[in-house]
Structure 1
Amino acid sequence: MNAQRWKDAANGTSAPGGHDIYVDDKGNVSAADRILPETLPANPNPVLKEFFDYYRMPRGFHARSVNSTGAWNATMPLSFMNMPLLSYASEVTIPTLIVTGEQAHSRYFAEDAFKAIGSKEKALVIVPGANHVDLYDNVAGKIPFATFTQFFKTNLQ
């Protein structure tokens, strides 16, 4: 990725890529012109289907959205490689509300973050039956707004 960043700087352009890093057996980082395919393949990975059903369908589609029609900058993940994301989580001492879906592929990170947060006033809300994108909007009626309201009323004064 550093070689790609150098190449991008020399050319004055940015190569497209995903927000995840895929490396082949020779150590080459794969590049892609788009994050999601134009059409959903047969038997897709469940996470691919979840994001496709949101970003490629009217519910979440926008012609200028990177996730709907394009790709991120190929070197974007570099900023996450220099420091583990939860390195300073124990220094967070303000009230913290972390929300995840019971079936979200990202649930593990919410749980890890909750454990790492230093605040005594913290809550982890695991939304029953919700996946990752169910919590983007309230189409499925799963966002626990009453829980949010109570947390904010208790902790924001």
Structure 2
Amino acid sequence: MYLPKHLNKDSKLPTIALSGPFGAVKEQSSGLYAQILAESGFITLAFDPSFTGESGGLPRFVASPDINTEDFSAAVDFLSLYPNVDSSKIGVVGICGFGGFAINAAANDQRIKATLASTMYDMTRVYANDYFDKENSKEARNKKRKELADQRLKDYKSGMYALEGGVIDTLPSDAPEFVKDYHNYYKTPRAYHKRSLASNGGWNRTSMLSFLNMPILAYSDEIENAVLLIHGEKAHSMYFSEDAYKKLKGKNKELFIVKNASHTDLYDKLDIIPFAKITAFFKQYLV
């Protein structure tokens, strides 16, 4: 929890729940966003997704499009009963993969009055189709399903879940620029954290099965409350936000492009993340 300074015990303030990026923990990007927004007068909650970081649940390191969407609604449950929170003025922020889950949560939970998706990924799309949809075929997905079904049996026999691996430790010379960016964020003192899956061993490998079978954003065109997507002009992932924005309806939806910014620049670069834009968005729709 991040509370504005000089909070009056009788005041009721607008509140924002934040999570992401995918494989990160609250001590990384979401905590930074939460701190800045609290300085602007919001009560904020940065949380670890289920089964990761300091959140509970077994087995550990499980990702799920349904559970990770529900994580946002669980945060709204908690905040709605928290002292000093105006339960009619709750927003969410999802960063990277949790940008997609935040939009998915907004489609299903009308208590979410404003949604920010920053440098968004649709994790179900990237797992099902690979990057840039280069493996968008039945044959490619069935190959993955076969490999993951075999992995399930291996895990069951061994009594342990194999991890898919986080960001690679040693970069090959021909690594794509965005892979280098991830390495620079997760694997260096810039943001390394011992509980971050991306910084270490990654998610359970078989978690991918649910992402192959349950695409998110199916009903995002029915979101009536405000949505802001922000993305870097030079981000490899820009197509996720562009396509998500095309599906959104209404005059309270916006895609804001940050010039010259990469995907990970919007994780923690205070001189690049458009906090003035973000703060104005939440003050318009939550205050």
Q: TM-score range by the shorter chain?
A: 0.7 to 0.9
Is the partner of 2:207 in helix, strand or coil? coil
Whole-Å Cα distance in 2 between the matches of residues 86 and 8 of structure 1? 31
Does the CA contact (< 8 Å) of 2:235 and 2:261 recur in 1? yes
The alpha-carbon deviation at position 16 of structure 1 amounts to 1.2
* 3-state SS in 2 of match to 1:39: coil
Q: Is the alpha carbon distance of 1:78 and 1:118 closer, same or farther for their aligned partners in structure 2, counting shifts above 3 Å?
A: farther
Aligned twin of 1:35: 166
The structure with more helix, counted as a fraction of residues:
2
Query: Is contact 2:169-2:183 (8 Å) kept?
Result: no
Whether 1:143 aligns to 2:253 is: no
Q: 1:149 to 1:36 in 2, by over 3 A?
A: closer
> Does the Cα contact within 8 Å between 1:66 and 1:72 map onto a contact in 2?
yes
Question: TM-score if structure 1 supplies the norm length?
Answer: 0.79
CA distance, structure 2, for counterparts of residue 49 and residue 128 of structure 1: 20
Find 2:207's aligned residue among 60, 68, 76. Answer: 76
TM-score of the two chains, using structure 2 as the length reference:
0.45
Q: CA deviation at 1:10?
A: 4.4
Q: 2:284: which partner in 1?
A: 154
1:81-133 Cα deviation digits (max 9, x unpaired): 22322211112221001111111111100111111123431111111111111
Map of 1:87-106 to 2, 5 A cutoff?
87-106=218-237
Consecutive unaligned residues in structure 1, runs of 5 or more: 18-33
Are 1:5 and 2:152 an aligned pair? yes
Mean CA deviation greater in 86-95 or 34-43: 34-43
Distance 2:159 2:225 in 1: 42
SS at 2:180's partner residue? helix
Structure 2 gaps of 5+ residues are: 1-147
Aligned 8 A contact 2:230 2:255 in 1: yes
Any idea what SS the aligned residue of 2:228 has? strand
* Cα distance in 2, alignment partners of residues 52 and 7 from structure 1: 29
After superposition, the Cα gap between the structure-2 partners of 1:151 and 1:46, relative to the gap in structure 1 and judged at 3 Å, is: same
1:112 counterpart residue number: 243
Using a 3 Å threshold, how does the CA distance of structure 1 residues 10 and 120 change in structure 2: closer, same or farther? farther
In structure 1, C-alpha distance between the alignment counterparts of 2:171 and 2:186, rounded to whole Å: 12
Aligned partner of residue 51 in structure 1, secondary structure: helix
Superposed CA RMSD? 1.8
2:258 to 122, 127, 150: 127
Alignment of 1:58-73 (within 5 A): 58-73=189-204
The one-letter code matched in structure 1 to 2:216 is L
Q: Report the number of matched residues.
A: 140
CA distance 1:83–1:69, change in 2 (3 Å): closer
Pairing 1:16–2:163 present: yes
**Cα offset, 1:138, TM superposition:** 2.4
- Per the alignment, in what secondary structure is the counterpart of residue 47 of structure 1? helix
Instruction: Give 1 or 2: higher strand fraction.
Output: 2
Identical aligned residues as a percent: 45
